[in-house]
Amino acid sequence: MVAFWFVAPILCFLDLVRSLAVKKTRLYLLLAIASICFLGALTTLIGSLYSGKAIAAGIRTIGPRMTGAPITLKDAKLSVLKGRASLHGLVIGNPEDFQSDYAFSVDLIEIEIVPLSLLSDTILIKSIAVLEPDINYEMGFKKGVNFKRIQKNIDAYLGLEDEEATEEESDDEGLKVIIEDLVVHGGKITVSSPMAGGKGAGISLPTFRLQDIGKEDSGASIQEVVSEFFSALTASIGKAVKASGNVLSRFFS
């Protein structure tokens, strides 16, 4: 009997521990299931807001208004969980009066995004890599330069947007982005002009990068990013042509 009264509390304690352990395991299991459901719901929500089709539609719609040139895009992909996106077959055509098939063409642009930032007003983009773009830099007597015309169209679009925002006195600043690193690598430039008999001259575009775009202002609009990119691209093209010693290089002094 003494042994029973000595062992019984121990057995009860062990049974309680076992019961708690089972409950704890069940609790962890429920938490894991809840976390998976929440993650799935969050992924679905973000995916519905930012899908590859939505991105492509935005580029095809807003792009031509900004640049004053036709824009085509074969495909856009977005993986919310991996925080990665990509653009495939992006072609920016030329404004009116220019003869080359397009101004800018690139088969692949790779983008790395912080996934949770997709739910905020400011999307954090860790990197954008523009890989091996094909550039037609066209110069003319009266029509000017295609890239400068595009830049002028973008600036005019931004000016019009600012005026409309002021008139509406809207407090909604719209979607903004911060880009930590944007690199253009392996680009090829074809320079053509009536001054050179209309024949193109092939030149390599040195790798160049822009960093911390929009960071100082807590984010930049998509339009501002496009404007800054085109401005930097045009300047980089000018430096490349000038350094090449090409017959057209004297026009970049």
Residue 140 has pLDDT above 60, yes or no: yes
Band (196; pLDDT cuts 50, 70, 90)? low
- The rounded mean pLDDT for the chain is 75
pLDDT for the residue 50: 53
| Percent of the chain at pLDDT exceeding 70 | 66
Residue 105 has pLDDT above 70, yes or no: yes
Work out the average pLDDT over 164-181. Answer: 65
For residues 75-86, b (16+ Cβ closer than 10 Å) or e, as one string?
ebebebeebbbb
Band (244; pLDDT cuts 50, 70, 90)? confident
**Tokens coding 79:** 């993986």
Among 181, 202, 206, CA closest to 191: 202
> What's this model's pTM, rounded to 2 decimal places?
0.73
Q: Where are the alpha helices (DSSP H) in the chain?
A: 2-49, 52-67, 146-168, 222-244
CA distance 70 to 91: 8
Among 187, 217, 52, CA closest to 106: 187
pLDDT tens, position by position, 23-53: 444 444 444 444 444 444 444 444 444 556 7
pLDDT tens, position by position, 122-135: 889 999 999 999 99
φ/ψ region of 132 (left if φ > 0, alpha if ψ in -120 to 50, else beta) reads: left
Distances (CA, A) of 134 to 108, 114, 210: 11, 29, 19
pLDDT for the residue 135: 93
pLDDT for the residue 188: 94
Lowest-confidence range among 57-66, 110-119, 138-147, 227-236? 138-147
Residue 213 has pLDDT above 90, yes or no: yes
Band (11; pLDDT cuts 50, 70, 90)? very low
Among 41, 36, 130, 120, CA closest to 87: 130
Residue 173 has pLDDT above 90, yes or no: no
CA distance 82 to 87: 16
178, 220 Cβ separation under 8 angstroms: yes
**Tokens coding 78:** 């977005």
| Strand 122-131 to 176-185 pairing | parallel
